[in-house]
Structure 1
Amino acid sequence: MSLANKYRPTRFSEVLGQPHAVTFLSTVILRKAKPRNLLLFGSHASGKTTLARLYAKALNCSDVAPDGSPCNRCTFCTDVDYEDWEYDVPGTGGEDADIEAWLDGRYRKPTDWKTTVLFFDEAHEIKPKAADSLLKRVEEPLPGVAFVFATTEPRALKNTLRSRLMALEVRRLGATEAVKLLRHVAEREGIAYDIDGLALLASIKRGYPRDLLIGLDQLAGMGPITLQSVKSMFGLDQTERLIDLFLALADADEARQITILADWPEEVGIIVKWIQSFLTSVFYRDILGLDFVGDPITQSITVGRSEILGGFCRRLDVPSQRDLRPFWEPMLSFWDRPSSDHETELQLRLALFQDLVNRRLGEARSALQIGSYESKGESFGIAVPAPAIHPQTSSQSLVEANEKIGQPSNEPNSLDIEGVRAIVNRASALTQATGYVINAAFEISSYPGVKAPTTVARVQRFVRELEEQAAGRPSSLATITLLEAGQFGPVTARICAHLTQLDTPGAQSRVQEWFDAFWQADEGVHDFDRRLSDVKRGMKFHWAEVMGLCAGLGGDSFYPDVGARALMKNLRVQKTRWRQPVAIPYRVLTFTGLVGQDAIEKAASEGMGFLSAYDDRAWRHIKSEWEPKEWLDRNKEFALRRRQIEDLEIFGGDPVQLEEKRRQIRASWLEVKSRPRRWMPWWGLEVDS
């Protein structure tokens, strides 16, 4: 039996790299819900058929495991003949008549088991007329019948059919998971190996589980699996062409580059991946001097590296390879922009890359240096993260993370300048870190004569019920709560929040009903105001409500305080919104959930500090809606950094050496303002005074 069949997962816990799909399928099984019709999509050999079979077995198993997996012991688990219920569309035919003939006798209410699962493999080959014929059956299947479609091209499946299916993406394995799989099987089979050989095999097979095990099968009879044996088996002569191309790039020899590319017998998409991988390898290993775990094939290249680096140094007139960093970063950033996989567009991108390397590296270096400009203000991130994220102040206006709203204080407090800074920075960080915005705002005040502790208790209960509303939606709630009191009035709570449930269709009316019920149930609430945003208002609503909180700056000292006045003008807070609250014996400002201290620090881990237009005194940019664009760039950079650290685990080894490698990698990461971005930031331009 082949290794691919022998080690095909038989339980959900054995499926690697598909947490979302596995969680969904096991939940359907454990809840004994009505079987769902599925569309499993992803690359070939990624495990779509395996998931379909596990799903079918678990739906019919008489002794399901605690994680929803089939028991693999009952009659159905041991006797089922999958092939009788699986339809290979390209091999059997995608026409209406072909599929109708196959369904005849199979599309019926089951008698010997609970659910008949009809599986169509390579479903994108189903013809439009056949897809139309399937619609009624899929939309209103017979009792006990479920459909599963698998495809590598989901968009090729007719939209009317696709829209009636629950789509689950099946991804290829990451480098770490791929090597773990190969190592597990090799050890079980007694196959000798070195880790570099397995890592190279994982790279060649690109993380596809079936292909990984087929490759291991091929190598098993050749003796120990080493880097050299893998290279010999799979004929890795591409590296020679890669070195020749980079030598030509170093010399800016365009004619030779064109000849090499024309003679390279690979699709342009593959050539681009080779270029990207080698650029990364040279950057970390040779320019930064790090023992970086990247693509094993390009990492194994030794011949030609020094000549390439020497050529670039001579042409760019720099003394050493370490000085190539400002020239290498534009080459890396060039490929950071998204593009399609269309052959013609990739050819154009490759031509533009050659033009960059041959003629424009000096210009790109100058543009990159503008991006590393540091303003005179404090940095909200790398340099001094604690003050920027959670400013310290002599007053007690700020509450520690995770403390209750309205903690009693020994000193009277009202919102001060450091509090305004914290509000603006954390509201900005919310969107930078998560893509979420403030989408709800509330004001709660009690009748005159109601004592402050009673009002504070009501506000605490309200926020607690907000948290309960968010239950089941992990990391979905953020609240900024400000307590203040007028000269003769009761305490008022102003709350800005992000409620993820508002992003779902029809949710606003349900949330409004709950708010109304809360207000009507509490007879002591004198006034209760709510404002809910929709998707279109987005950042405009976000900043309007945040500035509404900031308008409570100043207390008794506001009018003689020139700094407070100037700040309100810089923040463009309308005078009509300015308030003059008095100090009260409570900590008045609280951040919870996604803007709480723990969440902010977690989001800023791995050197991923936040930008702050406030700290840079870039007042015009505070409300210019740059945060959603920064969020996209942060996501990509954060994923890259996490993968670099995780990839170290492939090789195991001495813990002290591993920690030193982690330290080296972290030391190489760019600071907050030097990270690659696809939008134009404000530094290097004129900063507001």
Structure 2
Amino acid sequence: MESLAIRHRPKGFERVAGQGHAVEFLSQLIIEGQICRNILLYGAIGSGKTTLARIYAKALTCEQQPFPGGSPCLDCKSCRDIGAGEATNFHELDAPSYENFVQLKSKIDSLALGASKGWRRVIFIDEAQSLARYPQSFDYLLKKVEEPNEGISYCFATTAFEKISPALRSRLHCLEIRPLILPDCIKYLERIAEAENIKTSPDALALIAALGDGQPRNMLHVLEVVSRNADVTVDRVRQIYNFGYTEILTRYFIALGQGDFRRQTEIFFQWNEDAREKVRLIQVLMLSLYYKELCGLSLTIDPVIASMAPSDRAQIITAFRERLKEANLKSFWEGLIQAWPVITSDLSEESLFILITDFQRRVSAASEIVEHVPPEGPFFSPTEAAWRPPVDKMTTRQQRRGGRSEVGKDPRYLTYDQVKDLFNAASFLTQEYGCQFNIRVTVRSRLFGCDTKSEVSKLLSGFAHAFTDRLNKWIGHSHWLCVQEFEDGAVCSRIIAVGPQPDSREFKMMQKWFSNWRKNERTAGQEEQAITADLTSTQKSARKMKSHWDSVRWLCAGMNPAEPIYKRLVLPKSRQAGDLGSKRRRHSASESLTPSGMADAMQHEMEPLSAFDDEAWDHLYNGWELQEFHDRQKEKGQRQADIHAISRKYPRGDQEQDEKRKREYGELLKSWPDRYRRPRSWYAWHPPDEVD
């Protein structure tokens, strides 16, 4: 008998769960005329990448289109052949199964040449990340994608997006196949259970969703295991999968509540689990207890943690209350959460042990701190003195901020507002696009023989336009910031940009272009100094955004050193930017980083965070934007899917339907949390009005 995953594999776009953004894009291609596009589907194992590729291929070659929703008809010869694995217009190539790239190349060439004129063919390359073993493979595929044979559509699937070359990615429509959010997981599993006559409960399905990491195939495998000869209950799932760590977590947190440092340490180090996973589970339980027990919110952070017995959770809270007596436990808990640093992937196991030891020390010392901290302000009664760090060690926003005072505008330097704009644009770049600046460029007008302001303006604006066009051609997008300064008595442009990767063909093309741009206009003997470019990023520095922020600081080194935040920004040695005159613009940006360009990316109330604006200086350079990028993409996808669902629910053209749609839009808009309270995988700082 076929497995649940095979029996319930979606055959049409309308049956694909939780991937509204990808489904909408692919189905629209079919609806608009079975349009061929080259696609990259990326996501975890079992997320549904292959299923979507097959649906798209069937719909693209379906003989009965147009069909409702762009889905394949499943009845024509083409659809039946693909379903039976006998198609000549859809070919699945498992990249790792080929012994070498020559074999795979030969296969692709034969399929491309064998395509019939006026007929469509989809070449699907699965596990595409394995092609990274062959340096020439991506250059070959790049040419295939850029100059495809008529009617050929290339579709790639990968579990490692970062291993696909940036150049190839820039030529593909990249669609992330995301894990289903918990409500979608439960609806999906309920639908399957109903079709299979399996008795379930929402709590049990939430556990199954957690075990399957929100991936459809994985969840169906778990459902199949736990439903054999039994109803699916929470106890049944826990019995089969033995969540032993919840019992360990209970004992650990009771020891925390009792302030027993020795017992905490014994339990932590006897716990047979990866250190990073142990820290993650501790953080998850902290949040779960905070929301449910202390705030009274029915919010599921992790279904397995949420399934812990109420008596165990009550024991933990009781242990803390008995030790802290009259203290405000909720505020104490908030202090603990705020004290946690961002856990990055490059932290060593030893560093994690240091973090957990410091955490245990803080919790165990809490009763002593509570005794010495008086009630503060009108928010706490005399019996509700919250735990807080000792006053002389507090890191409040008032102490972190630079204490900016009015500084007279000096035309020789960058102003506070100009530097703020540059920092915010640099932070937005990574939050929205996941990119980092990796190239610094200086263009010197004096070495191009420019004597007048008009000549200088024409030269520098010409370079900006030409550089933008080249970046779009090399990597498919253009992101840069520019500051104009005086150097050796003449105006120069200092630019930081997102450029090609150093080991790519495009990077070599860029270097050559820098050397040749208007070469005949350059001062003889100083041609190479007219435009200088430095690569700043390495793989290690990119993980922490170190080189990104080094580049931003380099760009802002012309800030007035009299500004109070000058030292806080840790800028390089100060240099005078020079007086450009009142009519010349000091700084500029690519369209994506201008105020209007950034506003376009903030649709659906997706405003970015700004550590600079909020004066959260301890977060300024710690690389939180990398995690925010992934969280932001998920939230944007969900909001777009919600809007699309309302549009489908209320067709346009009917006044009553239009009113209902507008009303539901308004309710949806009100339900969206603001920038500080959006769902995140990391701990953001508090809004300024909640800290000061």
- TM-score, reference length from structure 1: 0.54
Other-structure match for 1:587: none
- Whether the 8 Å contact between 2:21 and 2:637 is mirrored in structure 1 is no
Q: Which 10-residue stretch deviates more, 8-17 or 312-321? A: 312-321
Q: 1:110–1:640: structure 2 CA closer, same or farther, 3 Å change rule? A: closer
Note if 1:181 corresponds to 2:182.
Answer: no
Q: CA deviation at 1:45?
A: 0.3
**Counterpart of 2:94 in structure 1: which amino acid?**
D
* Cross-structure match for 2:82: 80
Structure number, greater radius of gyration: 1
Q: Secondary structure at the match of 2:54?
A: helix
Matched residue SS, 1:167:
strand
Q: Distance in 2 between the 1:226 and 1:21 partners?
A: 33
Which amino acid is the alignment partner of residue 77 of structure 2?
A: T
Displacement of 1:103:
4.5
Deviations 1:203-225 (A, max 9, x none): 12110011111222222333322
Q: Who is 1:233 aligned against?
A: 240
CA distance in 2, matches of 1:303, 1:46: 36
Summarize deviations over 1:295-335 as a string: whole Å, max 9, x none.
2221222344344334444665654644533443335x43x
1:20-59 matched pairs, under 5 angstroms: 20-32=21-33, 35-59=36-60
Q: What residue in structure 1 maps to residue 453 of structure 2?
A: none
Counterpart residue number, 1:205: 212
Give the alignment partner of residue 70 of structure 1, picking from 53, 69, 72.
72
- Which of 324, 328, 338 aligns to 2:332? It is 324
What's the secondary structure of 1:230's corresponding residue? helix
When residues 259 and 83 of structure 1 are mapped into structure 2, their CA distance, relative to the original with a 3 A threshold, is: farther
Determine helix, strand or coil for the equivalent of 1:246.
Answer: helix
Shift of 1:275: 1.7
Superposed CA deviations along residues 440-483 of structure 1, whole A, max 9, x for unmatched, are: xxxxxxxxxxxxxxxxxxxxxxxxxxxxxxxxxxxxxxxxxxxx
Residue 267 of structure 1 corresponds to 274
Show the 5 A alignment for 1:103-118.
Answer: 103=108, 106-111=111-116, 114-118=119-123
> Residue type of the partner of 1:120?
I
| 1:585 alignment counterpart | none
| Alignment map for 1:505-544 (pairs within 5 Å) | 505-506=468-469
Q: Write the distance in 1 (CA, Å) between the matches of 2:355 and 2:177.
A: 32
Task: Give, as a single letter, the amino acid of the residue that structure 1 aligns with 2:74.
Answer: N
1:356 matched to which residue of 2?
Answer: 358
Inter-CA distance 113–612: structure 2 relative to 1 (3 Å threshold): closer
Q: Secondary structure at the match of 2:279?
A: helix
Deviation track 1:628-667 (CA, whole Å, cap 9, x = no partner) reads: 9999999999999999999xxxxxxxxxxxxxxxx99999
Structure-to-structure mapping, 1:287-366, within 5 angstroms: 287-301=294-308, 302-313=310-321, 319=327, 321-322=329-330, 324-330=332-338, 333-334=340-341, 336=342, 338-340=344-346, 345=347, 347-360=349-362, 365=389
For structure 1, the residue ranges without an aligned partner over 5 or more in a row are 375-423, 437-501, 510-532, 542-573, 578-591, 647-662
Q: 2:144 aligns with which of 133, 138, 141?
A: 138
d(CA) in 2 for partners of 1:28, 1:639: 22
Does the CA contact (< 8 Å) of 1:254 and 1:358 recur in 2? yes
Match of 1:281 in 2: 288
Count of aligned positions: 484
| Percentage of pairs with the same residue | 27
Contact 1:286 1:322 (8 Å CA) reproduced: no
- 1:151 equivalent to 2:158? Answer yes
2:571 match: none
Higher RCO (Cα < 8 Å, 6 or more apart): 1
Alpha-carbon distance, 1:287 to partner: 2.3
- The match for 2:538 is none
Q: Which residue identity lines up with residue 56 of structure 2 in the other structure?
A: Y
CA displacement, residues 362-418 of structure 1 (integer Å, 9 cap, x when unaligned): 7974589764879xxxxxxxxxxxxxxxxxxxxxxxxxxxxxxxxxxxxxxxxxxxx
Q: Which residue of 2 aligns with 1:465?
A: none
Superposed, which structure 2 residues align to 1:211-610 within 5 Å?
211-251=218-258, 253=260, 256-301=263-308, 302-313=310-321, 319=327, 321-322=329-330, 324-330=332-338, 333-334=340-341, 336=342, 338-340=344-346, 345=347, 347-360=349-362, 365=389, 371=396, 435=428, 505-506=468-469
Partner of 1:15: 16
Residue 167, structure 1, aligned to residue 174, structure 2: yes
Contact 1:138 1:164 in 2 (8 A): no
The one-letter amino acid of 1:53's match is R
* Aligned equivalent of 2:129: 124
Match of 2:104 among 74, 91, 99: 99
SS in 2 for 1:126: helix
The AA in structure 2 aligned to 1:14 is R
In structure 2, what is the Cα distance between the partners aligned to 1:641 and 1:316?
38
What is the CA–CA distance in structure 1 between the aligned matches of 2:137 and 2:636, rounded to whole Å? 45
Report if aligned partners of 1:57, 1:76 keep a CA contact under 8 Å in 2: yes
Distance, in Å, in 1 between the alignment partners of 2:620 and 2:132 is: 45
- Report if the CA contact (8 A) 1:290-1:664 is conserved: no
Rounded to whole Å, the distance in 1 between the matches of 2:117 and 2:183 is 42
Query: Match of 1:359, as an amino acid?
Result: R
Equivalent-residue separation in structure 1 for 2:17 and 2:324 (angstroms): 46
Q: CA shift at 1:242, angstroms?
A: 1.7
- Write the distance in 1 (CA, Å) between the matches of 2:690 and 2:299: 31
Q: Partners in 1 of 2:234 and 2:328 — Cα distance?
A: 30
Partner of 1:469: none
Q: Is the contact made by 1:633 and 1:677 (CA closer than 8 Å) also made in structure 2?
A: no
Q: Cα RMSD between the aligned structures? A: 6.1
Letter aligned with residue 92 of structure 2: E
Distance in 2 (CA, whole Å) between partners of 1:366 and 1:684 is 17
Contact 2:288 2:306 in 1 (8 A): yes
Q: 1:153 to 1:94 in 2, by over 3 A?
A: farther
* Rounded Cα–Cα distance in structure 1 between residues aligned with 2:691 and 2:81: 70
> TM-score, normalising length from structure 2?
0.54
Distance 2:185 2:322 in 1: 40
Is the CA contact (8 Å cut-off) linking 1:283 and 1:328 kept in structure 2? no
* 1:285 to partner: Cα distance: 1.8
For residues 253 and 169 of structure 1, do their structure 2 counterparts lie closer, same or farther at Cα, with a shift above 3 Å needed?
same
Distance 1:508-1:103 versus aligned 2 partners, 3 A rule: closer
Mark the runs of 5 or more structure 2 residues left unpaired by the alignment.
Answer: 370-387, 400-416, 430-464, 473-493, 498-550, 556-578, 583-594, 641-669
Q: What secondary structure, in the 3-state scheme, does the structure 1 residue paired with 2:70 have?
A: coil
Deviation at 1:272, TM superposition (A): 3.2
Summarize the Cα distance change of 1:664–1:306 in structure 2 as closer, same or farther, 3 Å threshold: farther
Distance 1:601 1:83 in 2: 42
- What CA distance in whole angstroms lies between the structure 1 residues aligned with 2:428 and 2:95? 41
Compared CA separation, residues 505 and 170, structure 1 to 2 (3 A): farther
Q: What is the CA-CA distance between 1:200 and the residue it aligns to?
A: 1.4
C-alpha deviations, 1:541-561, integer Å up to 9, x for none? 9xxxxxxxxxxxxxxxxxxxx
Task: Give yes or no for contact 2:13–2:23 (8 Å, CA) kept in 1.
Answer: yes
Tell me the residue number matched to 2:655: none
Alpha-carbon distance in 1 for matches of 2:277, 2:45: 17
Q: Give the Cα separation in 2 of the matches to 1:327 and 1:643.
A: 32
Q: Quote the residue 2:3 is aligned against.
A: 2
What's the CA shift string for 1:256-289, capped at 9, x where partnerless? 4454344434333433332222111111122223
Conserved 8 A contact 2:321-2:329: yes
